[in-house]
Structure 1
Amino acid sequence: MSLLLIHSHFGPIPAPYAAAVAEGRARSVRERNLTAADFIAASGLITTQHLDQIGFLAHSTALQSMLDRGGRWFFNGHMLRRFVDGLDVYRPLSKPKRADYALTRLSEHPIFAGIDPTSLEENNGVAGFYGRGYNPLPPGGQPVTGIGPDLLPIDWDWALPSGGRIFSHAGNDVGGMTGQGGSRGTSGVPVERILAWCAGEICP
């Protein structure tokens, strides 16, 4: 079994994942070339904010089968289609101001261990790159990061009742962020942790 990175845009593989692909720790497949066999061979899946969600609906059965086997899916972006029972569509923030982009850690998670969420609020001094809304938390899901004063779940981890896990980040690809927080310093979300989570090497 291997990790599957779906390449959904023109140009090279996203730089943070290129080393893992080159080393054979992950496979990159262009979205237009996806087949059921790619999901059968995968134990983990990473999709980017560029995913063609309408086209990806055709792979819902193969996706569910991968999850049923205990597979893991790291989803970046706005959930606009219900690929799996229990998922709901993205909710944007309404007329957000700077305070609405504040990030709060709601529960500990190995992907974010030791990372101050406030260090991810700004990129080059501009807020909103981390996300501007949330994918609704499924029943039984674990909220990881809240956005704004209402602590809306911009990041969550869900152990599906049927098996497998989904991690949802409702914004730009989290693995590629530098996390520049101005006077707060610089941190980021290491791609190695996302790969390890998808491989089941770190839990939950």
Structure 2
Amino acid sequence: MTLNILKLDPGHAFGRDGRAMSADNRETKHVSVMDQYAFGDADISNYNVLYVTDFIDQEYLYTQREKIAAFLDAGNIVVSCTHIFRPWLPNVHLFTPKEIRKFSDYDVVLSEDSAIFEGVDAAELVSRKGVAGFFARGFQPVYHDVEVHVRFTDGTPVTYVDRTSTNGTMFIHAARDILSFVTGDNTSKRIAPQMLEWLKRELQKENN
């Protein structure tokens, strides 16, 4: 299965096209980038993955929720790497900040069954240069059956897959762009290539 990923560009200061802190914005095979505000009028029938990251204009996405739902109902995948505060995805509840009383409250547990996070040290996600809180600071509450890949130590899900709310697949990740984990000198650089392989396998499931 060939990946055809449409990534919506929010045009923020951490983005591509020469803006600041864009080390993770190298050209990625299978990924086409579109200005977020072009989405409404765009023909997206050639894409099978819609990819949304932090700083996206969720008020705008809310106006496009029916188009997004139709994309999912066609058996496609939506990847959301942001804190959802408007209901632009079916059956995804709004972001809840994690109550932090001590640094260890940022700690996460990776599912042993997750092919995306296979071989990744959770501690290397949570802390950088001794500072905690880089990976996740909250979650999307879940009240139905999902496949959890990352959770806080209290059990609340940071990253999960929903295959039941629509005819497609939703990858809900209450943290930053998961494809940005491709560089560095620790195990987190395994995530981006493993995510791309997971997307290919997921599409094969959807088309069988």
Which interval holds the TM-score relative to the shorter structure?
0.7 to 0.9
1:89 aligned partner, one-letter code? L
> Which runs of no fewer than 5 residues in structure 2 stay unpaired?
none
Q: Size of the alignment, in residue pairs?
A: 196
Measured in 2, the distance between the counterparts of 1:90 and 1:162 equals 20
- Alignment partner of 1:19 is 2:47: no
Alpha-carbon distance, 1:134 to partner: 0.6
Alpha-carbon distance, 1:54 to partner: 0.4
Measured in 1, the distance between the counterparts of 2:167 and 2:101 equals 36
Measured in 2, the distance between the counterparts of 1:80 and 1:116 equals 29
- Is the contact between residue 123 and residue 179 of structure 1 (CA under 8 Å) also seen in structure 2? no
> Which runs of no fewer than 5 residues in structure 1 stay unpaired?
none
Alpha-carbon distance, 1:29 to partner: 0.1
Instruction: Pick from 110, 118, 136 the counterpart of residue 141 of structure 2.
Output: 136
Measured in 2, the distance between the counterparts of 1:169 and 1:115 equals 16
- Alignment partner of 1:112 is 2:117: yes
Alpha-carbon distance, 1:145 to partner: 1.0
Instruction: Pick from 92, 102, 105 the counterpart of residue 97 of structure 1.
Output: 102
Matched with 2:172 is: 168
Please give the per-residue CA displacement for 1:18-44, whole angstroms capped at 9, x wherever unaligned.
Answer: 322xx5x22110112213534322200
- Is the contact between residue 48 and residue 75 of structure 1 (CA under 8 Å) also seen in structure 2? yes
Given the two structures, how large is their TM-score scaled by the length of structure 2? 0.82
Alpha-carbon distance, 1:199 to partner: 4.0
Runs of 4+ in 1 over 6 A off after TM superposition: none
Please give the per-residue CA displacement for 1:138-186, whole angstroms capped at 9, x wherever unaligned.
Answer: 51111111113x1210111111343111111112223324797xxxx82
> What are the equivalent positions in structure 2 for 1:120-131 lying under 5 Å apart?
120-131=125-136
- Is the contact between residue 49 and residue 78 of structure 1 (CA under 8 Å) also seen in structure 2? yes
The 3-state SS of whatever aligns with 2:42 is helix
Aligned residues: CA RMSD: 2.6
